[in-house]
Amino acid sequence: MKTSKCLNPTIFVIFGGTGDLNLRKLAPAIYNLNSDGFMSKEYAIIGTARKKLTDDEFRTTLMGGINSFSRAGKVKKDQWEEFAKNVYYSSSDVSAPETFTDLKASIEKLKKAFGPKAQVIYYLAVAPNLFPLIAECLQKYDLVGTEEDCRVVIEKPFGHDLESAKELNKLLAGIFSEKQIYRIDHYLGKETVQNIMAFRFANSFLEPLWNRNHIEHVQISVTEQLGVGDRGGYYDGSGALRDMIQNHILQLLCLIGMETPINFDADEIRNKKVDVLKAMRPFSPEDIRLSTVRGQYSKGWVEGKEVPGYRTEKDVNPQSNTETFAAAKFFVDNWRWQGIPFYVRTGKRLFQTSSLITIQFKDVPHQIFPAGVAEHWQQNRLIISIQPEMSIRLQVQAKRPGLDMVLNPVDMVFDYKGTYTAQAPEAYETLLLDVMTADQTQFMRADQVESAWELVMPIVNSWESKTSLSFPNYPADSWGPEDAEALIARDGFHWFTLPLKNKD
């Protein structure tokens, strides 16, 4: 979360260089960081994968990725030529020793040219089953440097459950120090997510209200219109709870729930986030029955096109018990939040793509206006829209202009588009700059990952041990299973959505 540029010469080693993540996200991010002047003059990118490619062929592959996916559009000739000459490719299988001996020779050569301040960043953009092997080989072939000059980035998912996350943490801790390990959750790099901290802690008016005395409930809703697409094979072994709630959504919840850090130090902020996870009420079997909902989409129609049900998607088990929708009611058992529900929901093939955090404040303690004055009475709400709309809006009651006293809710809106002309950086740009400048604030510490797994494991185990008899239980293009509406309606609330902009 720095604004400074990276001063140290940097060598990126990207395992999975030909993969989707590198082409869509990493290469465009590094290219844009370089074009915007955030990289040291001396840098190199070494991509590795099994596919046979020359350096030039790899460069062309990356150019294709950047041209298709960069927020800044197609590459510019001068910038591309400067970038391309720093890009190299090594065709190798991570199970072969030569991969690492060759890599060592390339890194040493570059380090010699770059001088003593050169740093190496290993980015593991490969399937999670290769994380342990690569980390072990980096150690075995003497490729692990010091805290100052060597870091490793681990992609999500970090573990499949609590036990595997602990195992991976243990393995990594035997090779790297915690200060060298960057467990990425790209959600944390999003501009709007980072702004939650700024909004909460750089303004004085919120803190006195930010507690159980004034807040009635909190909602976090991350919904997607798309189905699983080509990711059926991966998704069917994962599901909405693992894929979204264990990581992204719990991290958003931590940003809303955390106490005020005493400074902007990475560990201080992460300590405060872990405190939230540790204060979260564990789920008993009864809580799972009453306070969680799972769903799976059936076929339906989206924007005039028929779409398949989950069980007939590519690479999905036709009897799959995997949830494509999950909702839950959490509690944070501490002084600030005791008794205040945090409702979360996420799912695929839903009516709208949006990520929203809604904080609903309590009603006024006494109504001074005569009945009938308010055409529509609504409690105050703070709505943080993360994507696709990037905004923060405060909903208040106001008098409608005119001779009569008529009250209506209105929105006070901070809208990124209307306020700033500059394009927001992509999350991966922010996070890669953080890795280069050794700032771990936006990365998950070992204990954060384990605490989040600990919280969701009872739900994971319960859902996996009992086949859902109601699946599929929501049609494509709906808001999910009816039980999810009932979960929140039982407490007198409803799920909040923003007026549609990305639909119709």
CB 379 within 8 A of CB 227: no
Task: In angstroms, give the least distance from the CB of 198 to ligand NAP.
Answer: 25
Instruction: Based on the shown chain and the rule CB under 6 A, indicate whether residue 243 belongs to the binding site for ligand NAP.
Output: no
From residue 197, alpha-carbon distances to 143, 377, 389, 445 in Å are 36, 30, 18, 18
Stretch that binds ligand NAP, among 28-36, 81-89, 121-129, 448-456 (CB under 6 A): 121-129
Instruction: Based on the shown chain and the rule CB under 6 A, indicate whether residue 156 belongs to the binding site for ligand NAP.
Output: yes
Task: In angstroms, give the least distance from the CB of 51 to ligand NAP.
Answer: 3
Choice from 7, 41, 50, 213 touching ligand NAP (CB under 6 A): 50
Is position 186 annotated as part of the catalytic site? no
Sheet holding 292-295, edge to edge: 292-295, 325-331, 341-347, 215-223, 354-361, 381-387, 391-399, 407-415
Task: In angstroms, give the least distance from the CB of 181 to ligand NAP.
Answer: 15
Stretch that binds ligand NAP, among 62-70, 91-99, 345-353, 454-462 (CB under 6 A): 91-99
Instruction: Based on the shown chain and the rule CB under 6 A, indicate whether residue 51 belongs to the binding site for ligand NAP.
Output: yes
Stretch that binds ligand NAP, among 46-54, 255-263, 319-327, 378-386 (CB under 6 A): 46-54
Kindly tell me the sign of the dihedral angle through the C-alpha atoms of 108, 111, 117, 121. Answer: negative
The two three-digit tokens of residue 388, written as one number: 């696709």
Judged by CB under 6 A, the number of residues near ligand NAP is 19
Residue 459: strand, helix, or coil: helix
Instruction: Based on the shown chain and the rule CB under 6 A, indicate whether residue 188 belongs to the binding site for ligand NAP.
Output: no
Q: What is the Cα–Cα distance from 284 to 297, expressed in whole angstroms?
A: 27
Mask for 94-113, x = binds ligand NAP (CB under 6 A): xx------------------
Identity of the residue, 115 or 237, whose beta carbon is nearer to ligand NAP in the bound complex: 237
Choice from 110, 126, 444, 457 touching ligand NAP (CB under 6 A): 126
Instruction: Based on the shown chain and the rule CB under 6 A, indicate whether residue 18 belongs to the binding site for ligand NAP.
Output: yes
Burial 381-416 (b: 16+ CB within 10 A, else e): bbbbbbbebbbbbebebeeeeeeeebbebeeeeeeb
Identity of the residue, 149 or 426, whose beta carbon is nearer to ligand NAP in the bound complex: 426
The burial of 85, by beta-carbon neighbours within 10 Å (0-12 exposed, 13-18 middle, 19 or more buried), is given as: exposed
CB 30 within 8 A of CB 134: no
Catalytic residue among 248, 366, 376, 494: 248
Stretch that binds ligand NAP, among 89-97, 114-122, 460-468, 485-493 (CB under 6 A): 89-97
Helix (H) or strand (E) holding 330: strand 325-331
Helices 446-465 and 250-257, interaxial angle, to 10°? 130
Instruction: Based on the shown chain and the rule CB under 6 A, indicate whether residue 125 belongs to the binding site for ligand NAP.
Output: yes
User: 């696709």: which residue's tokens?
Assistant: 388
Instruction: Based on the shown chain and the rule CB under 6 A, indicate whether residue 432 belongs to the binding site for ligand NAP.
Output: no
From 396, 455, 496, 409, select the one nearest 251 (Cα to Cα).
Answer: 455
Identity of the residue, 9 or 28, whose beta carbon is nearer to ligand NAP in the bound complex: 28
Task: In angstroms, give the least distance from the CB of 418 to ligand NAP.
Answer: 30
Instruction: Based on the shown chain and the rule CB under 6 A, indicate whether residue 230 belongs to the binding site for ligand NAP.
Output: no
Stretch that binds ligand NAP, among 43-51, 103-111, 236-244, 362-370 (CB under 6 A): 43-51
Bridge partners for 306 per DSSP: 301
Q: What is the Cα–Cα distance from 339 to 405, expressed in whole angstroms?
A: 36
The burial of 211, by beta-carbon neighbours within 10 Å (0-12 exposed, 13-18 middle, 19 or more buried), is given as: middle
Identity of the residue, 94 or 206, whose beta carbon is nearer to ligand NAP in the bound complex: 94
Identity of the residue, 242 or 393, whose beta carbon is nearer to ligand NAP in the bound complex: 242
Question: Which residues of the chain form contacts with ligand NAP (CB under 6 A)?
Answer: 16-21, 24, 49-51, 93-95, 125-128, 155-156
Which residues have a catalytic role annotated? 248
